[in-house]
Amino acid sequence: MHPPGPVHRSRTRRRSTNPEKPVPDDDLGQWLKSLETLHPREIDLGLERISEVADRMGLRRDAAATIIVAGTNGKGSSVACLESMFQAHGARPGAYTSPHLLRYNERIRVAGVEATDDLILSAFRAIDAARGTISLSYFEFSTLAAAWCFREMSAAPWILEVGLGGRLDACNAFDADLAVITPIDLDHMEWLGDNREAIAGEKMGVIREGRPVVCSDPRPPARIAEVAVGLDAPLSQLGRDYTVEEVTDRTWDWRGPRGDHLAALPRPGWLPDTALGNAAGAVMAVRQPGPFHLPVEAIHRGLEQASLAGRLQTTVCRGHQWLLDVGHNPAAVELLAGRLESVPGRVRMVFGLMARKPPGPLLDRLVPRVDEWFCLDLDDPQSHSPEQLRCALEERGARVLGSGGGDRAIASIHERSEPGDLAVGAGSFRVVEALMRAGVGACNEQA
């Protein structure tokens, strides 16, 4: 069984069994369709193919100082904070993230600006010429494209977000000068193991001997320290080496080793109290000696300007309050449920879920916090159907308003909303994408 599209967000489910080159085209959409059928498996973990092509292109030789971010939850938040802090210092960070919400270009950014179609197309052509008969997966092709764009645009540092696992993920073809390990949860267990220790071992595969690693998991599996000690990699651990203190609605304090204390740091708006450790880990990454060290002024300004679409994102659409969240595992849903506890009015949720995710554990946590539900049709054979979700919800006594696509969901929610109510879109990247395409993202203004 292979994880479905939202892991790496390739759209087409069929896979070609021969590694013929995609037909060259000046349209990015056509290239992406070709990449989706280029490799026989959507996800094919391993480093041999991508490493060979990267070396043919000189990408590993030419890589700038590199931070690799691995973990289950908080990777996007960590990258967003790091990227913004380096920008505030006048650097040109290259940030590679996945999946995207609306445009593939979102995955590759230099100095906060998405790569253009022309730049990505040039990268794809260069990779296609270099790979010869080597078959690359969609994510491998994307990772090489990001590195090519970073080199062309003189980006530094490179910040790479692991797509799946760590040890065998395509990003790990590049050496991490510093690794950030975010909170570990049970996710992608068919690939990574069925317990947090095993999963942590896979995530820790991105660290390198003697190079620093920052862990922002407040309950770190023992495997993290074991691997760090075995590789003589200096480990900075949340709650031991650095802490979050004095949290208010707008600010928080960071305290690190050797008396390093940063007071009244701006608070990223999408991070609840229980997830501020992700921002703290990013700060730890740029406060230790070495090529990534940043002054206090850049940290303040960067955190103030940091943003992250789709993560506990609050918006106003046509006068109605919305909260969009892409979280789709138990820990992420726990954060969402905690956020909903303080809503003064009624909560209505547009919900969808990929089929590899059992809905029960997520719904058990959310049903007590949600008054009415809309089951979103994701139009994907690898997702739970609206009928399946309706049954799971009604088994738990939930009230279901209806089902259908994004337009119908928005209309159904808006016609019932009153001042103080909150509309929520959650359960998958695909849910947030559908709502944005249907209008929530187009007509919103930040709340």
Tokens encoding 317: 């659409």
This prediction has a pTM of: 0.87
What is the dihedral sign for C-alpha 375, 377, 381, 382?
A: negative
Q: For residue 434, what pLDDT is reported?
A: 94
Instruction: Identify whether the C-beta of residue 284 lies closer than 8 Å to the C-beta of residue 242.
Output: yes
Tokens encoding 337: 């449920």
Q: What phi and psi, each to the nearest 5 degrees, are found at residue 278?
A: -65, -45
Strand partners, 244: 254
Q: For residue 5, what pLDDT is reported?
A: 35
Instruction: Identify whether the C-beta of residue 362 lies closer than 8 Å to the C-beta of residue 7.
Output: no
Q: For residue 2, what pLDDT is reported?
A: 31
Q: For residue 53, what pLDDT is reported?
A: 98
Q: What phi and psi, each to the nearest 5 degrees, are found at residue 181?
A: -110, 115
pLDDT in tens, the chain (447 residues): 233 333 333 333 333 334 455 455 688 998 998 888 775 565 556 799 999 999 999 999 999 999 999 999 899 999 999 999 999 999 999 999 999 999 999 999 999 999 999 999 999 999 999 999 999 999 999 999 999 999 999 999 999 999 888 888 999 999 999 999 999 987 655 556 578 898 999 899 999 999 999 999 999 999 999 999 999 999 999 999 999 999 998 999 999 999 999 999 999 988 888 899 999 999 999 999 999 999 999 999 999 999 998 888 999 988 899 999 998 888 889 889 999 998 999 999 999 999 988 999 999 999 999 999 999 999 888 899 999 999 999 999 999 999 999 999 999 999 999 999 999 999 999 999 999 999 896 544 444
Instruction: Identify whether the C-beta of residue 392 lies closer than 8 Å to the C-beta of residue 310.
Output: no
- Cα atoms found within 13 Å of the Cα of residue 142, Cβ hemisphere only: 34
For 233-263, the DSSP string reads --EEEBTTTBEEES--SSEEEEE-GGG-EEE
